[in-house]
Amino acid sequence: MHFLDQAKIFIRSGHGGAGAVSFRREKFIEYGGPDGGDGGKGGDIVFEAIAGLNTLIDFRYTQHFRAQRGNGGSGSNRTGAGGDDLVIRVPVGTQVLSDDREHVLADFTAPGQRVVLLRGGDGGKGNAAFKSSTNRAPRQHGKGFPGEEMWVWLRLKLLADVGLVGLPNAGKSTFINLVTNAKAKVGDYAFTTLRPQLGVVSHKGREFVLADIPGLVEGMGEGAGIGDRFLGHIERCRVLLHLVDAHGEDPVEAWQTVRTELARYGAGLEDKPEVIALNKCDLLDDELTTAIGDELRAASHALVLPLSGATGQGLEAVLDRLVEALGPAPDTGNSAAAAHGPDGGDADEDRPWSPL
């Protein structure tokens, strides 16, 4: 299945049905009055979030959605049938934006959530509604009210507990393959990951969802690399896991680059609790690993955990830290930031560094 996280669609609710012009014509009733019924209401445009979807690919091939119009009224004061509502099913995490993308019209965060975005037009009145003492045989009727229409953008923001960030080739795909059943592509070149990946991590009786996005580079807001469009998928994450390549040219600068781009993007990403893992430590000796870890700890004012995504060394400590940062349970109201110090650093930053 192809991944698509943005789509533009046209939606229109149903028009109301016209009222009827009819007169009562029955045997032995000399002066039959008007008995035209009202028109039926047009169908609504309803959005519903359902579980099991993680792409908007269906909206690439079907882009116009029109609800059914109401039927016209008829004689004997019979109201026309209302048009059926059109239910548009979207993945959980989808936002419906206005055509200019300036306003969020609906935000779906739970399965089964339904929003009536456009209401169908009301049906027109039949001629029976216009009769009076001075107008006993009215022939006017309502034509029905038109439905609403608009272009909207659908934007999918995957729901995950932990967001995985880092420069290209920091080992994010290897890590998510190690701790989940995801099958992310791994290669020895930049931007192996071209679309977000989701996986479920099970650790010590706790499960949480991990999201991996394409690597970040300096200037991504101006379109460098793959750009910043995929950062929306970690806006809803409660914790960020920042992987830093210990075998890179300057791990401290790599960490600072990602932090700078997160701050430029905004949406509160720079304020989220962060767990830093120094990856690929298996390629270095203990002395060099300790030195790099100390430098990164001094720059970030946070605990830095050594890790090897290839061998799994240090994995238990990283997962323990993530579970600790996530807190007991989402519905307890406890903030995951409680594990962090008042300056945004880690409350355990005085914990001594230990190599693998």
Tokens matching residue 122: 């009301």
**Is 111 labelled as part of a ligand binding site?**
no
**Is 312 labelled as part of a ligand binding site?**
no
DSSP letters for 171-220: SHHHHHHHHSS------SSTT---S-EEEEEEETTEEEEEEE-PPP-TTG
**Is 195 labelled as part of a ligand binding site?**
yes
**Is 279 labelled as part of a ligand binding site?**
yes
**Is 289 labelled as part of a ligand binding site?**
no
**Is 281 labelled as part of a ligand binding site?**
yes
**Is 93 labelled as part of a ligand binding site?**
no
Q: Cα 258–264–265 angle (5° rounding)?
A: 90
**Is 9 labelled as part of a ligand binding site?**
no
Four-residue CA torsion sign, 7, 92, 166, 101: positive
**Is 309 labelled as part of a ligand binding site?**
yes
Q: Rounded to whole angstroms, what are the CA distances from 159 to 47, 166, 184, 211, 232?
A: 18, 19, 18, 8, 10
**Is 314 labelled as part of a ligand binding site?**
no
**Is 285 labelled as part of a ligand binding site?**
no
**Is 308 labelled as part of a ligand binding site?**
yes
Q: Which amino acid is at 234?
A: I
DSSP 8-state class, residue 314: T
CA-only gyration radius of the chain, Å: 29
**Is 254 labelled as part of a ligand binding site?**
no
**Is 170 labelled as part of a ligand binding site?**
yes
**Is 127 labelled as part of a ligand binding site?**
no
**Is 191 labelled as part of a ligand binding site?**
yes
**Count of other CB atoms within 10 angstroms of residue 252:** 16
**Is 214 labelled as part of a ligand binding site?**
yes
**Is 172 labelled as part of a ligand binding site?**
yes
Q: Rounded to whole angstroms, what are the CA distances from 81 to 113, 130, 280, 290?
A: 27, 21, 66, 75
**Is 237 labelled as part of a ligand binding site?**
no
Tokens matching residue 172: 């994010």
Annotated binding site: which residue ranges?
166-173, 191-195, 212-215, 279-282, 308-310
Annotated binding site for Mg(2+): which residue ranges?
173, 193
Annotated binding site for GTP: which residue ranges?
166-173, 191-195, 212-215, 279-282, 308-310
